[in-house]
Amino acid sequence: MEEKKLMKGNEAFAEAAIRGGCHLYFGYPITPQNEIPEYMSRELSKHGGSFVQAESELAAVNMAYGGALTGHNVFLSSSSPGIALMQEGISFMCSAEIPVVMLNISRGGPGVGGIQPGQADYRQATKGGGNGDYHVPVFAPASVQESVDLIYDAIPIAERYRNPVMILADGMLGQMMEPVTLPEHRAVRSEAELLAEKPWALNGHGDKRERMVIQSLHLKPEELEAHNMHLEEKYQSMRKELPKYQIKNCKDAEIVFVAFGTMSRIVNEAIDQLKTEGITAGLIRPITLWPFPEAAFDEIDPSTKVVISTELAIGQMMEDVKSAVAGRFPVELIYRTGGMVPTPMEVARRAKQILEAIR
């Protein structure tokens, strides 16, 4: 085990991707994730990898598709408006079944918005910003260490399902520094090992086999429907296998907060503050945003008065919370938006007001 290092989030994320085996990176400058392409431009060549500063996020995502269809692991990063531009490629890769791992260091929107932390890409990430029936697993880390671990683990998950996987972090996680323990470098696979593991990857037929095609165009509707049903089977497996969440004293809680990423850390402290005022509160922290961890909501004590979706967005996750709660408890919302981040005190005060109104 390596010693702990104090690392800036963005640099730790880039290093995690390299150690996980992503030696191809394509990116475009956008705040607040610029340290990632900068880090990759310095470090990737040391691992025999390749860094390209693309002309746009649109080009970057398509370069990623090109790199990944050869069986090599590719890492992509951007921030909200850049991720919006990448939607074409994300939908395409889901259809063509090409695995990549991408990271959104999200900021306030809509439009160009601002550069301070936001979670308003929740819907874009979980409901698909691109066209068609597809899903992308979305992991939401709450610390630099957890981001590192989730990026590292996302690489084999993307490979296993042959599907893009997204890590949804935010500007605060990207910019802050925390001690991290970095994972080991994954063993580098030879070209032959890669092709044995990924028989679908294009490498030239070498006059030894039939030519292969990677495609997303299916002009015959019956063919496309069959393809989509095949994809849906994968999504069903993901729904069973991927949900991940953390739960904190939900047993006798009057209030159960639901919060992910940065916001969950603020809520954690708000819970401590509420406790000093005699109010017991718990937290459900979804780690996967898609698939949404609905099972977590079965653990809420029947005596709970209210479930509060707590977001840096205006009720985007609340839609999924309501669906998971399924009418069992009232669902309320606490939010800040546009890059504003509430303090724990602010969350505690609002939660108290909500509770009093319900009592």
The residues binding other proteins (CB under 8 A) are 4, 6, 24, 26, 31-32, 50, 52, 54-56, 58-60, 62-70, 72, 74, 88-89, 92, 96, 115, 171-172, 175-179, 202-208, 211-217, 265-266, 268-269, 272, 341, 343-345
- Unique residue bearing structure tokens 């390209």: 52
**CA 94 vs CA 50, 98, 342: distances in Å:** 23, 6, 36
Work out the burial of residue 133: count CB atoms within 10 Å of its CB; fewer than 13 is exposed, 13-18 middle, 19 or more buried. Answer: middle
Residue closer to other proteins, measured from CB, 119 or 292? 119
Question: Which CB, 85 or 166, lies closer to other proteins?
Answer: 85
Rounded least distance, CB 9 to other proteins, Å:
10
Whole-angstrom Cα distance, residue 330 to residue 258? Answer: 13
Nearer to other proteins, 233 or 272 (CB): 272
Q: At residue 335, what are phi and psi to the nearest 5 degrees?
A: -150, 155
CB of 197 to other proteins, least distance (A): 15
- DSSP one-letter code for 117: B
Asked if 169 and 9 count as a contact pair (C-beta separation under 8 A), the reply is: yes
* 309 vs 264: CA distance, rounded Å: 10
Name 147's Cβ contacts closer than 8 Å, sequence gap at least 6.
9, 12, 13, 16, 141, 167, 169, 173
216 contact partners, CB below 8 Å, separation of at least 6: 92, 95, 96
For residues 310 and 174, what is the distance between their CA atoms, to the nearest angstrom? 20
Least CB distance from residue 280 to other proteins, whole Å? 17
What's the closest the beta carbon of residue 239 comes to other proteins, in angstroms?
Answer: 27
- Residue 13 or 92 with smaller CB distance to other proteins: 92
CB 120 to other proteins: min, Å: 18
135 three-class SS: coil
To other proteins, the closest distance from the beta carbon of 209 in angstroms equals 9
Least distance (Å) between residue 262 CB and other proteins = 8
For residues 264 and 119, the answer to whether their CB atoms sit within 8 Å is no
